Amino acid sequence: MKTSTTFPLGAVLSAAAALVFATPTLFLPPDAHASVKLVFIVVGSILFAIGVIRVRSEGRTRKQSDAGTANPELAPE
């Protein structure tokens, strides 16, 4: 029986995006410039988009790789 573990990079990127989004609220003063906050919003959005794409691709590749190693009697013909 072959087990393969994958690192959930999509979930990690999504969590990092949440931290980036929260950083201005937690650490910057309320009267900070909007341009500084905009940088955090843009970076967090990019991280979140990459995380979502990665989660969707992880599910697709895992199902395809499992289909070949699963019970061959149940595989569609």
Which pLDDT tens digit goes with each residue over 13-46?
999 999 999 999 999 998 989 999 999 999 999 9
To the question of pTM greater than 0.75 for the whole model, the response is no
Q: Given this model, what pLDDT does residue 7 score?
A: 82
The answer to whether residue 34 sits within a structural domain is yes
Q: Given this model, what pLDDT does residue 22 score?
A: 95
**Number of domains, the chain:** 1
The answer to whether residue 73 sits within a structural domain is no
Average confidence (pLDDT) over 43-55: 94
Q: Give the Å distances, CA to CA, from 19 to 4, 8, 24, 41, 70.
A: 29, 17, 10, 11, 38
Is the model's pLDDT at 9 over the cut of 70? yes
The answer to whether residue 30 sits within a structural domain is yes
Residue 60, CB-side half-sphere exposure with 13 Å CA sphere: 7
Q: Given this model, what pLDDT does residue 6 score?
A: 75
Q: Which domain holds residue 21?
A: 9-67
